[in-house]
Amino acid sequence: MKFRIGIGYDVHKLSNGRKLIIGGVEIPHEKGLLGHSDADVLLHAICDALLGALNLGDIGKHFPDTSDKFKDIDSKILLKRTFELVKGKGYSVNNIDSFLILEKPKIMKYSDQMREVISEILEISTEDISIKATTSEQLGFVGREEGASAQAVVLLVSKEN
């Protein structure tokens, strides 16, 4: 059995007039993340981890922010398309470990919903998806509530014996 590991990172600016969508879940907040798509920082980090594990480049290569085709696109669609590439290479997702860095709002009460969304797309159990959250202790752009970031690590397993 062959294994591949990938790591992903994403960051987006917080902005007024945007919905805050993280892990495919809309979270009530006065600001949302700014980006070409819906700016779902967690799903973008997971996409990059999946792509990186198979040496397929990054999310910008597959879904460029210069293309109108991806303007305001739901990041769940991007994750689904990324997963199709993973399956096309003969792999499945074994597990995901991820974390969000965001000063406000507190998002852990939404983590079960996020895990449900991700598990449905990636065809794995919610038990195989870890989502953690932390602040940056009021340091840097996250601490000043200017943005959020996320990191994800994935383990892929080949479908061949």
| Structure confidence by residue, pLDDT tens digits, 129-160 | 999 999 999 989 999 999 999 999 999 999 87
Number of compact structural domains in the chain: 1
- pLDDT tens digits for 62-78? 887 777 787 878 999 99
Boundaries of domain holding 68: 3-158
- % of the chain surpassing 90 pLDDT: 83
pLDDT of residue 102: 95
Q: How far, in Å, CA of 158 to CA of 16, rounded?
A: 43
105: cis peptide before it, omega within 30°?
Answer: yes
- Least Cα distance to 82 among 44, 42, 124 occurs for 44
Q: Which CATH number does the domain housing residue 145 bear?
A: 3.30.1330.50
pLDDT of residue 71: 80
Global pTM value = 0.95
Q: What is the DSSP string of 26-88?
A: EE--SEEEESSS---HHHHHHHHHHHHHTT---HHHHS-TT-GGGTT--HHHHHHHHHHHHHH
- pLDDT tens digits for 37-60? 899 999 999 999 999 999 999 988
